[in-house]
Structure 1
């Protein structure tokens, strides 16, 4: 006979309750009525809702300004070209590898000090270990000093761990948007 799983009890978050209690007490202090308590708590909740909507609209505006939605619609090759232009604006000399037989790198960036092999992954899902493995293989092939994987998405935990172990620099969606906004 199988044991029934006990429902996990979610911890009660005490701070929001204490804040609402404090706001209710303020309402009572100034009005000496139950209506004052209700109005104070209602106004506080309304302000929280407005603040959350404002934060979400700022994030959406940031996405739009960075052009991340357009990047999401690009093909892999268009994404590589886009990144090449982005890094040229940042002062790198950019070389593109062949579409096939690229040995794991899509772009080679050069500045006065470094040669950077870049793997570009325009994905709708998470980028896994394979992308990190490919760029590690490209390091010696292109005599690169650094290896980067850039995506319009996010990385799996396994990819992050492998990258950290092998000194591979990962640029995910958030960092890509920051890079784009800094470059504009």
Structure 2
């Protein structure tokens, strides 16, 4: 207190310098996190690598891609007791999303889609559903997903690599190709 009362100019200058250093540190930290995210996504964007991942690693990759797409409050909740959803997120101006990840080498069948739709109707009511798979959906599963009261956004193997590379987005405003993810 003595220093502040005796040297108010120096105290104010020191406080400003500390504030600038603090904000600079935060900006630097943010840039480092973003650079690490870009490196992680680039290193894991190839389907061959996705095929070798465990389920939780695939869920983490999808969550990181969602953050890079502009989603906020991205939360990985997969595992036992997840309520049928692996990731929840908020899209600014578009509401809440619930994501089911299926790192399958085979096809995803109608029972898996029905289970996800059930989770969306009950525990995650009001969320937009997104089904991401490293495989593909059976014809019946695709019909169930697209014929639901609120159709699911589907990211199957043929679009997964493009999405992981950032060529398409789950948020339509960011990319004209995003409509392809919905079909």
TM-score scaled by length of structure 1:
0.61
Q: CA deviation at 1:144?
A: 3.5
User: Which structure: larger Rg?
Assistant: 1
Aligned position for 2:137: 155
CA shift at 1:65, angstroms?
A: 8.7
Residue ranges of structure 2 left out of the alignment (5+ in a row):
1-42, 169-183
Residues 96/65 of structure 1: CA separation in 2 closer, same or farther (3 Å cut): closer
Greater relative contact order (Cα 8 A, min sep 6): structure 1 or 2?
Answer: 2
Aligned length: 121
TM-score (normalizing by structure 2)? 0.61
Deviation >3 Å, runs of 4+ = none
SS in structure 2 of the partner of residue 147 of structure 1: strand
Q: Distance in 1 between matches of 2:95 and 2:78?
A: 21
Query: Residues 22-171 of structure 1 correspond to what in structure 2 (within 5 A)?
Result: 66-93=45-72, 94-112=74-92, 113-139=94-120, 140-166=122-148, 167-171=151-155
**Secondary structure of the structure 2 residue equivalent to 1:95:** strand
Residues 75-125 of structure 1, C-alpha deviations (whole Å, 9 max, x = no match): 111100110111111111211115111121100121122211111000110
Q: CA RMSD in A?
A: 2.0
Give the whole-Å Cα distance in 2 for the aligned partners of 1:91 and 1:84: 11
Is there any run of 5+ residues in structure 1 with no aligned partner, and where? 1-63
